[in-house]
Amino acid sequence: MIPYARQDISEADIAAVVDVLRSPLLTQGPQVPAFEAAVKARVGASHAFAYNSATSALHAACMALGLAPGQRLWTTPITFVASANCARYCGAAVDFVDIDPHTCNIDPVALEARLREAADHGTLPAVVVAVDFGGQPADYDALAALRARYGFRLIEDASHALGARWNGRPVGAGAWADCTVFSFHPVKILTTGEGGMVCTEDAALAARLDRLRSHGIVRDRAQMLHAAGEGDWYYEQQELGWNYRMTELQAALGSSQLARLDDFLARRREIAARYDIALRELPLQLPQRDPRADSAWHLYPVQVADAATRSRVFAALREAGIWVQVHYIPVNHQPYYRDLGHRPEDTPHALAYYRRAISLPMYPALRDEEQDFVVATLRGLLA
């Protein structure tokens, strides 16, 4: 079976985790800060906080930005549900802005039209979550300009995009978003089993992101409110947080994986280039590149002619042992969001993309022969 995505675990990765198992601390030790420091150095961020998933990091990012009941968060429908659910955890409303059919990222033109209308009605979003779909950054030139003009806070859901760049600047360096969230789920660019990281340049946001993952507790005396007369046992819960901490085992795996990031990215780029050439004569729409973006190539989604072809080709590929997937079912197609009044027809480009999309296998350990088999099988099905 050839999956659409899979982790790549080396002997060094295994040894790093085993070392932690023999060490005194399985949580709250030196590995998490070391992994955070390595990510900061890699992406050029001032602050980075490890979480036990990107979902929990998105939740904390929304809380840290002050998202509250009565406010709104806007995002794209072509994403994993977590990009929208983070608003619901805070009691905020969600709305969906259609995609640019070329990049499948949130469409800044559609966003601007919606913002202009919302400004007239007093219904502007407090937060916009942009998703770097498939690893290709969204249009941050346009999004940063809209952020400045309409005053929303921008979260970059870079779950697919560790190692990607926009205009040559690394995703996570804080050049355009208030905070950037990475995922380390096993299908993503690198893995910690489950895990996530949030980066920011904003010191006030950083302080909250640090404590929200651990019950809202502060351990730095300089930040305490009632430390006078208290001893070394003393800690302070200053707001309501959660236990969203990453373990030492996960962080050690993350640091070991991060050392291989350039190899992972190079291999993903190579696989994308091989697909581009091998598939170019077929009746498919291949992933389109924005010349300002350098993608991390988490996904290689193709679009067939129509929904009937998609159903047929998807089933036949799986029959052949090629475990393709669809990224994504529009979030406004989900029953939970339909119950809140959303419809996939509200975002027609996203719906049209969804009906024709298939994600082909894309991961560093995919062998050339396996990729050739995927291409040959697809060619036979589309002949």
Ligand X SMILES: *Cc1c(COP(=O)(O)O)cnc(C)c1O
The contact set with ligand X (CB under 6 A) reads 53-55, 79-80, 82-83, 131, 157, 159-160, 183, 185, 196
Closer residue to ligand X, CB minimum distance, 218 or 296? 296
- Closest CB 185 distance from ligand X, rounded Å: 4
CB of 181 to ligand X, least distance (A): 7
Nearest distance from residue 83's CB to ligand X, in Å? 5
Sign of CA dihedral 302, 76, 7, 198: positive
- Least distance (Å) from ligand X to the CB of residue 80? 4
Helix H, strand E, coil C: the string for the chain is CEECCCCCCCHHHHHHHHHHHCCCCCCCCCHHHHHHHHHHHHHCCCEEEEECCHHHHHHHHHHHCCCCCCCEEEECCCCCCHHHHHHHHCCCEEEECCECCCCCCECHHHHHHHHHHHHHHCCCCCEEEEECHHHCCCCHHHHHHHHHHHCCEEEEECCCCCCCEECCEECCCCCCCCEEEEECCCCCCCCCCCCEEEEECCHHHHHHHHHHCECCEECCHHHCCCCCCCCCCCCEECCCCCECCCCHHHHHHHHHHHCCHHHHHHHHHHHHHHHHHHCCCCCCECCCCCCCEECCCCCEEEECCCHHHHHHHHHHHHHCCEECECCCCCHHHCHHHHHCCCCHHHCHHHHHHHHHEEEECCCCCCCHHHHHHHHHHHHHHHC
Our CB check for ligand X shows the closer of 189 and 252 to be: 189
Nearer to ligand X, 55 or 247 (CB): 55
Which CB atom, from 55 or from 257, has the smaller least distance to ligand X? 55
Nearest distance in Å: CB 116, ligand X: 27
Residue 215 beta carbon to ligand X: minimum distance, rounded to whole angstroms? 20
Closest CB to ligand X among 85 and 255?
Answer: 85
- With respect to ligand X, which residue has the nearer C-beta, 71 or 325? 325
CB of 234 to ligand X, least distance (A): 33
The two three-digit tokens of residue 116, written as one number: 């202009």
Of residues 135 and 174, the one with the C-beta less far from ligand X: 135
CA 321 to chain centre: 27
Shortest Cβ 187–ligand X spacing (Å): 7
Alpha-carbon span 136 to 56, nearest angstrom = 23
Task: Find residue 303's DSSP bridge partners.
Answer: 285, 357
Task: Measure the CA angle with vertex 340, ends 334 and 345; round to 5°.
Answer: 55
> Please, which residue, 80 or 300, has the CB nearer to ligand X?
80
Choose between 82 and 104: whose C-beta lies nearer to ligand X.
82
What is the closest distance, in whole angstroms, from the C-beta atom of residue 327 to ligand X in the complex?
Answer: 8
